[in-house]
Structure 1
Amino acid sequence: MNGHGEKEERPNGDVAGAEDAAAVQRSWAAAFWQQLCALLRKHWLTRSRARQVNVLQLIQAPLFMFVVWVIVRSILQSNRLTPGIQDNPNPPAKPIGGIPDCTSNVYLRRDRACLDFIYSPAGHPFVEDLVRDIRRANPGAAIPEERVRGVSDMWAADDFLLANWGTVLGGLHFVLPDDLAGLQPGDAYNASAVQDVGFVVQTNSTTQWFKGQFQHPNSYAQLPLQLAAESALYRAMTGQHGADGEAHQPFKIALAEFPAPVLVTGNIEGQTAPIFVFASAMFNLVIVLYGVVQERHLGLRSAMRDMGLLDSAYWASWWIAESAYAVLSACLIVALGHAFSFSIFTGNSTALVLPLVVLYYLAVVAFGFLLATLLRKPGATVPVGFVAFFLGWIMIVVVNLFATTGITSLPRAALGVLFAFPWTVLGKSFVDLDEAASGSGASGGLTWANRISYCVSDAPTVDMLAGMDAQGTYVSTQCVLPVGDALWVLAVQAVGFLVLSLYLDNVLPDQFGMRRGLFYFLQPSYWREPEGTARSRAAGRAALRDAGEREAPKDAAVAREEARMQARCRAYCRGPLAPSADDASAGAGRNTAEAPVIELFGLSKEYSVRAKGQRSTMRAVDGTWLGVQSGTCFCLLGHNGAGKTTTISCLTGAIAPSSGDALVHGESILTPALSHIRSAMGVCPQFDVLWATLTGDEHLKLFSAIKGVPRRLWTTEAARLLALVGLERAARQYAGGYSGGMRRRLSVAVALLGSPKVIYLDECTTGMDPVSRRHVWELIHRVKKGRVVILTTHSMEEADVLGDTIAIMARGRIRALGSSLELKGAYGSGFAVSVVLKPPGESGGGGNVAADVGAVVARAMGGLKPTESSARLVRYHVPAGMQSDLHELVRVLEEQPQVNDVQISMAPLEDVFLAVTRRAELEAAQDAGDMADAWLPAVEGVSGDTPGGAAVPGTRVRVRVGEERVRGPDGTVYGLTWGQDEMGQLKLHDVAPLSAQQLSAMQQDPSGGVKDAVAAGGSAAACALPVSSQPPRRDSDTPPASRWWQRAHATSPKVRRGRAGRPPPVRVGTLKQHIPPTASNVAALPIPAPPVPAATPMGERADNRFEDAAVVPDDPPSSPGTPVAQTQRSGALHRMRSATTSSIAGVMRAINGRRIGNVGEGGAAQDVPGEAGPSGP
């Protein structure tokens, strides 16, 4: 409703009732709540539709707990089969057998003969009799003589064992009394002296083990040798010396273990469960990492922030959504622990275990947020998650090793590092819970009441232990971080990691380089919205100082605009701005003076780049002074890297300008809080920022909530905008299934949400089909009323049709400014006249009509020849200098009966764009002194030889970038043709000798000077590659550019080595020309730079010719110096405004810029009533 209570018409053409969908200013609490609810709904929709992730997240907890159950059951089953672990009250006795056979021992060497034992002293009669008796009486089987060897003494035995390791089971070393020491062979000995004989048993003390079977040296070799020696001595004492067989064994010895209860090694669950619960939480951590990092990487968060998203609402939505999943997973873990009857869960109070696991999961989620602020690419989340899991697993193992034995002995610093992570806190708590559940306490483990009291610092006294045993209380003397303290430690970690995440999210640069200061939270401006006027005015004064030091723009319109905005900047620095008289003239024909909606005061953006170890500065936007009035579609044109997107990013607050300022509806973009600006603007970014699993309707409802549209209007506003962009039938389809054009249309609809006053459209029609593009054009034309539309595009047709004001940017600066007709008049190359002839059979038709009309026009226009001629159509190009002769041309054509229609159009906007950007590149090349190599075709009588002997025609010379004519070393004059690549850089793509006619015309042209070219130095072999393989030469005071910037602004294209000494084709976009190499060996000398031509208005062009595009063939010319074919640009390549007229008045209206019609899809003129002048769409 307007001030009179009447319905008013919306700027987009719809009628607004009592409810308006415009964004409203809300309190922080209201905005936070509305955005939080919308973001939570978005989380629910995206996660519920990610079926594979949901299935994995639901089954991973049961799967990990099942693995724990399998491990525990396997270990328990293995323990049941291990005698040393089971209860053994009556161990069986195992008899000691005879000396084992060394040939059956698998642990001895196989490359040498083995021995059952060795003995000393060898050769003594008594000892030899004892050894002979041992061999014959060995139980089981007698020992052959060759498996026994005697040595002189124990020292000799050691030497033998060292020299023959792995071949002897043991040794017997007898110590004889004096009565027997001197015994000779055949002498009798006293039996009583035998009782004084001693012996030493020597065996290998290493326990042998193979495939679970152990061979203990005591029971395998030592005891049998000892029993055999004592039995032989007994028989010698009793007179049974020399008896054969086992019947004379005096002793029956058996070996039995001591009775032992079951071995309690601790609960296996307490050692295994923490690792797998930790792994389950790490699975959630990777999902959190990927989700947060992907939204930032795809620009989704930036797009929401441009719509007014609060950081607090964003992080709160992520925290609530992921905490819900974490609590669900924790409850599932505890429930499964009870289901599998794990004592660590069933033996302790659930009121203590459940909060412990829940707080652990919440702390892991917060830790995931912390890692997400440090990552920039989604692909890094899985490797980082794996590294975190590996390090956490090592920490848990360390805690399990020291938890029950010596954790109190660890340094406090080591304990602080370990317990700074949630998984080690969980591991220590699970160890205590496990011991409490599997100990002797009768209370059933730990409860909430004794969560801290069970941990005692000093060893309990006997009376304390008696009282605790009576109460069944578990006690631990390893008093480090009891479970009760672990609860608050995990809670502090959950909050601390989240706060640290928020801090790093603000102080670390985002993808656009934006960040806050280290102590931003101490500044009052962070907690309340400041006006930012002082900072803005200081930036304006600094921009005025910088503008006084810069070179004045060469374009008159740009210079006038800069002067106007500098005057407004001075006024702004003194006080509030008001409309001025200059604003009325700049307001696209409006009668009332109106202040610009967008004002750029010397806006600049610099980037620090590094190349070859040195850092330099590159200016993406270089001091832009500009004002845009309401109701205007302002179009920015420029090559890739010209600064268009950077300018829009500065205006939307996505990146901060390096210097200067901009006002949007009077609000400075330097204000820390841009909620006022963002609530009044809509942005369609260069690349689509959409969720693949949300529908078009859900996207618009989400952004409506973020933008501040009242909730009751979400559905109607979404339906209205989808209908405006032609997506009403695809409203319920996922955006991931949209085509490229449909996604762009949805992005345009998002930009129109909330009736914004400023709309930024960055290449909004990229990827659209012609019908959809035309539909969006009509929509832009409707919504610009009462608004400002900033449009960047690569389509000259789109800029021509939509742009009320067009600015052409090159190298970060605005080079030309004005309406389409104004730019064509200032930089165009003339007019195109199309003559439609009558067909045969009509009056005046038939015969050689085209030739007749051509002859008449040639007589009237001083020899003007058609550029294209057929039986029904003849086309002429009228240079700008012949504009005054258009009256005569139209009069002559109207008098011809053969003429059916006459169409006159100005030069296409693409020619204007190329002319402006070419001039900018020439200026930059002249300032930098850039040089390029040119291969001059060989002339007759000039050739050279390579070191290999092959003839190589041609000469390589160095020329200034942009030079049009050069004289070779032999005096031949060559013409140089330069093109522009996708970055707008000048590239040499054709060199050809000038003909006699061209030389004659050049001599008549006062500006047609010729530079002497000097061949580049080096041998013929060194000249096999053009200069594109070398870096461009620049002045010594010019800072080096970064690698990517150097690649984008290199003076020569990349090449590949040619065959047979010839250079490869030089590729410039789709241009390709084969140029022969040189055989000259002349010293290189610099060539004076050609003067950069100043901009000449239409009709005063120096060369007085229409520049057609050079189409270079893919195949090389048949001979050096063959000129490249020149072809006329096809009309299908250019959409241009044209006027159909049959009168001189109509022609002059078109010439004077009055809009008569607009070329439609089929090329026919379409009248647009009620609009005229340069402010038309």
Structure 2
Amino acid sequence: MKYKTNTSNQFRAMFFKNATFIKRQKCSLGVQIAIPMALVIVLVILNKVIGGAINNNSDGTISSSYQSYNFDNAQGFFYTVNPNNITEVGYKDIQGNGTGLLEFVDQYEIYVNNTNVYVPYTIELPSAKVMNDIVLAKKQEVGTGSIGPLTFPIAGIQFNDFKPNNYSLDLTITCEEQYEYSYSLFKYNLIYTLSQIQTSFLNYLLNGNGVVTKSQISTMPYYYESTPFDITSILGGSFFPFALSFVLPLFMYSIVYDKQEKLRDLSLMMGLKMRNYWVMTFIFNFLVYTIIAVVIGFICTVSGISVFVKGSPFALFLLLLLWGLSMVSFAFFLSTFFKRTRAASIFGYFFVMVMVNLNSVLSSLNVSVPIFYYWIPILGFSRGMTVLTYLCGNGLCPALSAYTWDFEVSRILFWLFIDTIVYLILAVYLDKVLPREFGVPSHPLFFIKSITELFSKGGKKNGYSEINEKTKLINEFTIDGIIDEDEDGLMDEDVKNERDMVIKRLYNPDEMTLVVEGLRKQFPGRPKPALSDLYLTVKKGEVLGYLGANGAGKTTSISMLTGLYTPTSGTAHIAGLDIRYDMDKIHQVIGVVMQFDVLWEDLSCEETILYYTRLKGTPKEIELQSTHNILKEVNLFDVKERLVKQLSGGMKRRLSFGIAMTGDSSIIFLDEPSTGLSIEIRKELWGTINELKKNRSIILTTHSMQEADILSDRIAIVSQGKLQCIGTQSHLKQKFGDGYSVRVDIEANFINTHNPTELIKRFSPSATLSESFNGSYMYRLPRDTIISDLYEYLVLNKEQYHLQEWSLSQTSLEDVFLKISANDDTVN
């Protein structure tokens, strides 16, 4: 019974297959999870040990103490500038002498360089520019070493206007802001300078009546609490990206493995839709990442890592979510460039290490990054984690409201979203157009054809509309005899009859499993078609031996019938379904056994068959029963729990047959089914094939003429992309054979003295010696040879020519094949 496949069935098939496969890969999976866990645990330990030691040495107290400063002992001098030459300003020198307003500057005596001097004093300069030049020159001279008293001024005072009668004073005070160039209480020099000027101003107005002001300053009570040291502010930008990126090579490996082992190709032949493959692989890989991210998040939260406990939970969740999505897409994209898992894995791990370290270097340099930096998802994610861990490690964790476009992490979130979409589209596109080891890539502009077909008029044609048109044309030209010839010469009569039967519909559709109608395939850039106008029928219960040299076109035709290639023209009907329009349904009724066993080594026999049973749409309630029935049919039920890698070569081959039988297949394609097997296992498989054909049709491609001769009901031979002959084995041998072969053996004692060639030539002058070795001679006899006369002739001459034994055989199928394919120089 045939079942209709659906997306949910295929999702279930892929999910359970992937889950089981990964479960069996315990060592590999353990390493993939252990490394991220180890990195995070090391980071947590470092944070506890190193951070704890530093935090214990910090008092972390709240202080309400304050300090008081007075300016009675201020040491230094003032630069004064009097641009308007105001005479009332005056001066105050180092000896204590002075005039004008500055005469009243409050000085006291100090001892410097063995000399008593009075401070503060004034030094008049011609302009503010000169003052600035002098200060700058002194800074360049002394550097940032120990600055003593009288090196730099307390301040610079520019007197803009002074009108004592109006009690008016206008001045500009220039103060030092670089603490390393200021002596003593540099940040309070402005207050001290104002205090001195105010005291002088009052004394000047009051004619020196001894106004005295005392300047003192004290601080407000202040709060002090040490910020706990968090080592993730330094190491988090490297550790977290490493831990959360280590599965990227694993994702690349899984996709490349399916391509390398042709597992994906077989699944597609067995009904898997490519879109379902991408969607389910994406979901499964993201689930693996999610499990790792959740475990890491749990460990870091419990351990109190600041970026996980102090920042915005939603923003961090969004960053981790978008990184997971973009990483899976990016892994898909990278996997399209690799054909071997080893190369993909090495590149993946190397890429992760280089990118994370590159981000660490750029972040330490504190330089802005170009826009293309965000087009590589791992760099963007590493940058985002570096910024967040640094801010949170220093007590500056941004709240959700801080995530505006000006905040770099917000832009990173945007670009990770864009990366997810762009790399997923690129992965699907490149997977179709890049050169591949198996199959032919699509044209780079393949999507244009799909768009054109979507909007083209007419829609889907009837499956027989094209054949009816051809029938009309054939009938018109039959009178002129054109049907008897093709472009290269005369068409074989059997091939012509097969074509007539298809085009004129001279067959019973209920008896046919496969009807091929003018199938043709022309690959771009190649001068000859790989397959040209193939007409063929296969009845129910029939085994068709489909033979041809390498490049003759048989693989191309099988690929079109199984949906790997689309035909250039023509079509075929499998179980009444058109390969142009009904490939999804056709996949439910065909089975494929590839040349070499295409199996997941870590799945059991039961799990392997169950995967393809689900893929074919078998209802959930009977899928296990159907699996067991197939295993019984191929004699593997007793070892159903055994892993594929534990099976013998013959068991693996039978399991491949079981895969082809899933979904109650109407037709099975066998590609070199006995390649590389021993004679005993080969004969066992031949018995299995004979059992299979009772309920279904079989197309057998093989290079073993013995296998084709024994198993096939009919033989079709293709050469140079065309069907050259078709018929039963005996018919082809009779039609294309050169007659008979007779082998004669001489008795051992007479090998060197007797030669039967003269004897054979007397019986048949046209006989030819084809080979001889150590007393054994092989001759070819014409087709009109009378077998009974030859037998009687050899018996009569046995004693005279010391004939030990002889045997007679008709032309072999191999001889027919070699004759038909002798001029085949096609290269596909």
TM range (shorter): 0.5 to 0.7
2:322, 2:417 within 8 Å by CA — same for their partners in 1? yes
Give 1:819 shift: 2.0
Distance 1:567 1:595 in 2: 13
2:737, 2:815 within 8 Å by CA — same for their partners in 1? yes
Other-structure match for 1:568: 502
Distance 1:353 1:852 in 2: 94
Select 1:744's aligned residue among 631, 649, 653: 653
Distance 1:866 1:492 in 2: 76
Other-structure match for 1:380: 344
Cα–Cα, structure 1 residues 257 and 830, in superposed 2: closer, same or farther, change >3 Å?
Answer: farther
1:58 aligns with 2:14: no
Select 1:733's aligned residue among 635, 642, 656: 642
Cα–Cα, structure 1 residues 742 and 642, in superposed 2: closer, same or farther, change >3 Å?
Answer: farther
Other-structure match for 2:537: 627
**1:51-99: per-residue Cα shift (whole Å, max 9, x none)?**
222112221222222453476579869989999xx99999xxxxxxxxx
Select 1:300's aligned residue among 259, 263, 275: 263
Distance 1:550 1:273 in 2: 78
Return the letter of the residue paired with 1:336. I
Select 1:48's aligned residue among 23, 27, 42: 23
Give 1:759 shift: 1.1
Return the letter of the residue paired with 2:3. Q
SS at match of 1:701: helix
Return the letter of the residue paired with 1:824. K
**1:36-57: per-residue Cα shift (whole Å, max 9, x none)?**
2222111111111112221122
Other-structure match for 2:273: 310
Other-structure match for 2:92: none
Other-structure match for 2:782: 880
Cα–Cα, structure 1 residues 498 and 894, in superposed 2: closer, same or farther, change >3 Å?
Answer: same
**1:478-521: per-residue Cα shift (whole Å, max 9, x none)?**
843676x9778867765776566556666778752355525848
Distance 1:549 1:71 in 2: 87
Unaligned runs of at least 5 residues, structure 2: 68-133, 152-181, 188-221
Cα–Cα, structure 1 residues 80 and 665, in superposed 2: closer, same or farther, change >3 Å?
Answer: closer
Identity %: 23
1:517 aligns with 2:447: yes
Return the letter of the residue paired with 1:418. Y
Distance 1:620 1:684 in 2: 22
Other-structure match for 2:113: none
SS at match of 2:544: strand
Cα–Cα, structure 1 residues 426 and 543, in superposed 2: closer, same or farther, change >3 Å?
Answer: farther
Other-structure match for 1:1141: none
Cα–Cα, structure 1 residues 600 and 479, in superposed 2: closer, same or farther, change >3 Å?
Answer: same
Return the letter of the residue paired with 1:431. V
Other-structure match for 1:795: 704
1:276 aligns with 2:273: no
List aligned pairs for 1:1004-1023, cutoff 5 A: none
SS at match of 2:703: coil
1:293, 1:372 within 8 Å by CA — same for their partners in 2? yes
Q: TM-score, normalised by structure 1?
A: 0.49
2:17, 2:611 within 8 Å by CA — same for their partners in 1? yes
2:667, 2:697 within 8 Å by CA — same for their partners in 1? yes
Other-structure match for 1:890: 791
Q: TM-score, normalised by structure 2?
A: 0.68
**1:346-377: per-residue Cα shift (whole Å, max 9, x none)?**
32465664554344334422433344456554
1:561, 1:627 within 8 Å by CA — same for their partners in 2? no
Distance 1:543 1:697 in 2: 52
Return the letter of the residue paired with 1:59. A
Return the letter of the residue paired with 1:40. F
1:605, 1:659 within 8 Å by CA — same for their partners in 2? yes
1:757 aligns with 2:666: yes
Count of residues in Structure 1 that have an aligned counterpart in Structure 2: 682
Cα–Cα, structure 1 residues 870 and 427, in superposed 2: closer, same or farther, change >3 Å?
Answer: closer
Cα–Cα, structure 1 residues 827 and 714, in superposed 2: closer, same or farther, change >3 Å?
Answer: same
SS at match of 1:602: strand
SS at match of 2:35: helix
1:706 aligns with 2:615: yes
Cα–Cα, structure 1 residues 863 and 606, in superposed 2: closer, same or farther, change >3 Å?
Answer: closer
List aligned pairs for 1:145-224, cutoff 5 A: 219=145
Return the letter of the residue paired with 1:51. K
2:631, 2:658 within 8 Å by CA — same for their partners in 1? yes
Return the letter of the residue paired with 2:27. Q
1:861, 1:885 within 8 Å by CA — same for their partners in 2? no
Q: Aligned Cα RMSD in Å?
A: 5.4
1:813 aligns with 2:776: no
Return the letter of the residue paired with 1:736. K
Return the letter of the residue paired with 1:383. F
Distance 2:509 2:471 in 1: 25
1:621, 1:812 within 8 Å by CA — same for their partners in 2? yes
Return the letter of the residue paired with 2:574. V
Other-structure match for 1:334: 297
SS at match of 1:607: coil
Return the letter of the residue paired with 1:345. F
2:649, 2:677 within 8 Å by CA — same for their partners in 1? yes
Unaligned runs of at least 5 residues, structure 1: 1-21, 91-198, 207-215, 227-253, 457-477, 572-577, 584-591, 610-615, 841-845, 925-982, 984-1044, 1049-1177
Distance 1:541 1:397 in 2: 73
1:684, 1:760 within 8 Å by CA — same for their partners in 2? yes
1:601 aligns with 2:503: no
Give 1:263 shift: 10
SS at match of 2:522: strand
Return the letter of the residue paired with 1:517. F
2:233, 2:392 within 8 Å by CA — same for their partners in 1? no
Other-structure match for 2:821: 917
1:282, 1:385 within 8 Å by CA — same for their partners in 2? no
Give 1:852 shift: 13
1:633, 1:789 within 8 Å by CA — same for their partners in 2? yes
Other-structure match for 2:554: 644
Q: Which moved more, 1:60-69 or 1:685-694?
A: 60-69
2:435, 2:441 within 8 Å by CA — same for their partners in 1? yes
**1:134-171: per-residue Cα shift (whole Å, max 9, x none)?**
xxxxxxxxxxxxxxxxxxxxxxxxxxxxxxxxxxxxxx
Cα–Cα, structure 1 residues 685 and 806, in superposed 2: closer, same or farther, change >3 Å?
Answer: same
Distance 2:509 2:310 in 1: 83
Distance 1:669 1:539 in 2: 18
Return the letter of the residue paired with 2:709. D
Other-structure match for 2:573: 663
Distance 2:57 2:520 in 1: 79
SS at match of 2:565: coil
Return the letter of the residue paired with 2:499. M
Distance 1:71 1:536 in 2: 75
Distance 1:279 1:257 in 2: 49
Distance 1:258 1:68 in 2: 43
Cα–Cα, structure 1 residues 256 and 289, in superposed 2: closer, same or farther, change >3 Å?
Answer: farther
Cα–Cα, structure 1 residues 914 and 415, in superposed 2: closer, same or farther, change >3 Å?
Answer: closer
Cα–Cα, structure 1 residues 258 and 624, in superposed 2: closer, same or farther, change >3 Å?
Answer: farther
Give 1:218 shift: 5.5
Distance 1:739 1:799 in 2: 24
Higher relative contact order (CA 8 A, sep 6+): 2
Select 1:418's aligned residue among 359, 370, 374: 374
Give 1:793 shift: 0.6
**1:635-664: per-residue Cα shift (whole Å, max 9, x none)?**
122222222222211111111223333232
Higher helix fraction: Structure 1 or Structure 2? 2
Return the letter of the residue paired with 1:879. L
Cα–Cα, structure 1 residues 286 and 536, in superposed 2: closer, same or farther, change >3 Å?
Answer: farther
Select 2:391's aligned residue among 435, 441, 451: 435
